[in-house]
Amino acid sequence: MNNRIRIERAIHNLTQEQLAEKVSVTRQTINAIEGKKFIPSTVLALKICRVFNRPVEEVFFLEETD
C-alpha cells in the first residue's frame, strides 16, 4: 500500500509530530506509515484523511503488486 501522507503534510504545513498529535499516535507511527513499513488501521487511516479533508482513496492507494 502506498500513501501521499508526506505530500499532504507539506500542503497543510504539518510536521510528523503535529499530524501524530492530531490523530493520537506517535511521530514514529506516522514515520512508519510514510515509509511503508506499517499499514494503518481503518480508523487511523480515516483520522489521517479527516485532518487533510481528503477521501481515503486520495491519500492511500494500492500498488500493482498489492
Domain assignment present for residue 66? The answer is: no
Specify if 35 maps to a domain: yes
Domain count, the chain: 1
3-state secondary structure (DSSP) of residue 31: helix
Whole-prediction pTM: 0.93
Tell me whether residue 30 is in a domain: yes
Residue-range definition of the domain harbouring residue 25: 2-52
pLDDT at 62 over 90: yes
Which tens digits make up the pLDDT trace of 20-61?
999 999 999 999 999 999 999 999 999 999 999 999 999 999
Residue 57 counted as domain residue: no
At 16, list the grid cell: 510528523
Question: Does some domain include residue 8?
Answer: yes
**Distance between first and last Cα of the chain:** 7
Of the two residues 54 and 63, the one the predictor is more confident about is 54
Is the residue at 33 inside a domain? yes
Q: Could you give the CA distance from residue 13 to residue 36 in angstroms, rounded to a whole number?
A: 21
Read off the CATH number of the domain in which 45 is found.
Answer: 1.10.260.40
